[in-house]
């Protein structure tokens, strides 16, 4: 996976509110009074859903290709590194014990790295990704208007 942003459909609902539904995550939807408010609510809803998926050790689908009429919603920064680590471990079929061995640490430290509610230093997540032969790169891009 290269980008942690999911395609979503923004549409006008009843009462002139903006509705947001995610293409790859059918159980996630939200709304807002304005399109801007709906966008930030969508970021929050996306983060909450991914946090639950990690906590329950569920699969996380890769974001599909953006299509006409869709808009990318980024994974919030508070959870993005943990999502990247979780997805990488699943992709490489590396379990907690194997990552513990590679990092030469206790398994509780690895569990904390993956715990969405535990505040983890970015350096520790970078180190874990590096132990898996990966790195996380942050980029900015223009917002489509």
Q: What is the pLDDT of residues 3-13, one digit of tens each?
A: 899 999 999 97
DSSP type of residue 77: T
For domain 5-74, which architecture applies? 2-Layer Sandwich (3.30)
And the tokens for 98?
């194997």
Q: Residues with Cβ < 8 Å from 8, sequence gap 6 or more?
A: 20, 21, 22, 23, 42, 70, 71, 72, 73
Q: Which 3 state secondary structure label does DSSP give 32?
A: strand
pLDDT computed for residue 1 by the predictor: 52
Give residue 144's pLDDT band: very low, low, confident or very high (50, 70, 90).
low
pLDDT of 60 over the 90 cut: yes
How far is residue 13's CA from residue 19's CA, in Å, rounded to a whole number?
6
pLDDT computed for residue 140 by the predictor: 84
Q: What is the pLDDT of residues 96-124, one digit of tens each?
A: 999 999 999 999 999 999 999 999 999 99
> What does the pLDDT average to over 82-90?
95
Element (H, E) at 70: strand 70-74
How far is residue 69's CA from residue 52's CA, in Å, rounded to a whole number?
28
Among the listed residues 51, 53, 45, the one whose alpha carbon sits nearest the alpha carbon of residue 18 = 45
pLDDT of 44 over the 90 cut: yes
Average per-residue pLDDT for the chain: 93
> What does the pLDDT average to over 114-143?
92
Q: Tell if the pTM clears 0.85, that is, is over it.
A: yes
Q: Which 3 state secondary structure label does DSSP give 1?
A: coil
């Amino acid at each position: 996976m290269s980008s942690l942003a999911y395609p979503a459909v923004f549409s006008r609902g009843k009462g002139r509110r903006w509705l947001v539904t995610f293409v790859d995550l059918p159980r996630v939807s939200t709304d807002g009074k304005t399109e801007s408010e709906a966008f930030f609510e969508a970021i929050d809803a996306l983060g909450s859903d991914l946090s639950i998926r990690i906590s329950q050790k569920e699969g996380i689908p890769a974001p599909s290709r953006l299509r006409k009429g869709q808009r990318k919603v980024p994974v919030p920064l508070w959870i993005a590194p943990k999502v990247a680590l979780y997805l990488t471990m699943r992709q490489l079929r590396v379990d907690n014990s194997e990552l513990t061995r590679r990092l030469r640490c206790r398994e509780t430290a690895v569990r904390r790295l993956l715990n969405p509610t535990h505040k983890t230093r970015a350096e520790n997540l970078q180190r874990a990704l590096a132990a898996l032969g990966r790195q996380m790169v942050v980029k900015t891009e223009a917002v489509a208007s």
